[in-house]
Chain A
Amino acid sequence: MEKSEKFSSSWALILATLGMAIGAGNIWRFPRLAGQYGGAFLIPWMVFLILWSIPLIIVEFSIGRRTRQGLIGSFHQFLGPGFSWMGAFVAFCTMAIMFYYSVVTGWALKYFLSAATGNLQTSSSSDYWQQFINGYQPVLFHLMALFIGCLVIYRGINRGVEKANRILMPSLIVLLIIGAVRALTLPNALIGLNYFFEVRMDYLLDYQVWLEGLSQSAWSTGAGWGLILTYAIYIKEDEDVVLNSFITGFGNNSASLLAGLAIIPTIFSLTPTLIEAENALKAGNDGLSFIVIPQLFSKLPGSALFSSIFFLALFFAALTSLISMLELATRIFIDFGLPRTKALPLVGLLTAVLGLPSALSYSFFQNQDWVWGLGLIISGSFFMFAILRFGVNNFRKEFVNIIPDNSRAGIWFEVFLKYFIPIEAILLIGWWFYRSIKWNPHHWYNPFQTDSLGTCVVQWTLLVLMLISLNRLFIHLLKKARA
């Protein structure tokens, strides 16, 4: 088995975990929701950072540091061989996201190149998007983004992941700051700020806004995806996992606020009426980024420059997250006994092929985003199940608080894991299923409907059955690699 590298310093680790956490969701999802619901959304978003994300990040860091194996090996070691399939479910869920995330990273790359060369057709941005998304170009850019990601992972942790994040993360923050300064100096930027921060009581008392805040916290920080567990394989034994978890969570949310400052005032400043601004925020993630933003930026002097900055930031954010997903998948095969040089081409080929349907069909992409985005809540629940089975108190003492000088997880950690996170997971799944039934009142059970409850249940069930039947193979491969 490959001898594991280690992150060269705590700072290198922090940059890598921030790169993992700060992704497209910070730039295209957070501003959309914060602009729609304002301060009433920010309150649950902050509350669930503490009640969902940080405890799960601590769990992932602690398991990875102890087991020094990827997801399947970790669940195998932590819960027993019979539960290896659970680790495989979490791994597959994140890998399924990786297959289409590479496509999204490609979209951002394409739009950056078009903006930088002055070819972004902003007058008819909707037609330009439709033409692009229905053509062959998404395949090309999916492969380009994937190739860049693979190049980084091929060089390993120190020369690849660390070096890439050392360049990309500070660049991303600088780009977001430039975007925020420009947005805040636009006329009527204060109207946008008002929408961003005003707490409307009707929204604050709306349970849906609270569940939107919880969803954003669950998806945006990367908690429960297995990505932090994978990076934790490479941390030093005495690394302060509690402190690093807080830095990852708060750093991720700080970047979201910066993205909000760059986007929300721009929308409210450049749309002619408030109703149009509100409609722009309801355009969906990709609708906002690839149709509304290019249209709005075209009204600015130096529009090519500001469009380029926005899409470069989106590309950098997506790429650093894609890198962590590629490492997660590669690590699984390394644990099965393959050297990195063989595991990575396998992962690259798998991603290239399984990303193709999303690159070629927008509705397939939407289906996968729905099924596996929601699947992450199941992933988080598997982590929670693992800790509850092991004993939260034992876990805190034997896995988290093991270095005397480090920050400690207090009794709050146990309370959150035992009581809050299980309730949050049930509420989240229940609410999204309820929404799905409301969206498709006559076809909610149809497995071929893009965003139905049926498509989730069928795809998850098939995956679980397949992974349970492969459990023996996982055990065999892990044992063989160790021998």
Chain B
Amino acid sequence: MKVSAIFMMILTFAIIWGGFLFFIKKLQKKEKSKSSKN
């Protein structure tokens, strides 16, 4: 595998999967604080 392809693979996964997990984590936090308020 070429180095540029490896770089692109890491970048793509970091943005898409990283982004998805980041937003899921944010929702998780929100839900937690909501339930503790209740």
Partners in one complex: yes
In the assembled complex, the CB of B6 is this many whole angstroms from the nearest CB of chain A, namely 7
- CB contact under 8 A between A243 and B30, given known A39-B12, A193-B5, A197-B9: yes
In the assembled complex, the CB of B12 is this many whole angstroms from the nearest CB of chain A, namely 5
A269 within 8 A of B: no
A338 within 8 A of B: no
B4 contacts across to A, CB distance below 8 A: 39, 198-199
Chain B stretch 11-32: residues in CB contact (< 8 A) with chain A: 12-13, 15-17, 19-20, 23-24, 26-27, 30-31
CB-based contact A197/B5 at 8 Å: yes
CB-based contact B16/A46 at 8 Å: yes
Q: Which among B9, B20, B26 is the interface contact of A254 at CB below 8 angstroms?
A: B20
Q: How far is the CA of A170 from the CA of B5 in the complex (A)?
A: 30
A327 within 8 A of B: no
In the assembled complex, the CB of B9 is this many whole angstroms from the nearest CB of chain A, namely 4
Interface string of A251-263 (1 = CB under 8 A from B): 1011001000000
Interface size of B by CB at 8 A reads 20
B23 contacts across to A, CB distance below 8 A: 243, 246-247, 250
B27 contacts across to A, CB distance below 8 A: 10, 14, 240, 243-244, 247
**Chain A, residue nearest B15 (CB):** A46
CB-based contact B16/A240 at 8 Å: no
CB-based contact A39/B26 at 8 Å: no
A190 within 8 A of B: yes
Total CB contacts across the A-B interface at under 8 A: 66
Q: How far is the CA of A265 from the CA of B30 in the complex (A)?
A: 38
Q: How far is the CA of A174 from the CA of B16 in the complex (A)?
A: 18
- CB contact under 8 A between A246 and B19, given known A10-B31, A197-B12: yes
A194 within 8 A of B: yes
Q: How far is the CA of A190 from the CA of B8 in the complex (A)?
A: 14
A352 within 8 A of B: no
B15 contacts across to A, CB distance below 8 A: 46
CB-based contact B16/A199 at 8 Å: no
Q: How far is the CA of A446 from the CA of B19 in the complex (A)?
A: 45
A109 within 8 A of B: no
In the assembled complex, the CB of A22 is this many whole angstroms from the nearest CB of chain B, namely 12
In the assembled complex, the CB of B20 is this many whole angstroms from the nearest CB of chain A, namely 4
Interface string of A193-216 (1 = CB under 8 A from B): 110111100000000000000000
A/B interface sample: 9 pairs, CB < 8 A? A14-B27, A42-B8, A46-B16, A193-B1, A197-B8, A197-B12, A247-B24, A250-B19, A251-B20
Q: Which residues of B contact A (CB under 8 A)?
A: 1-2, 4-6, 8-9, 12-13, 15-17, 19-20, 23-24, 26-27, 30-31
- Closest 8 interchain pairs by CB? A250-B20, A39-B8, A198-B5, A197-B5, A197-B9, A197-B8, A250-B19, A247-B23
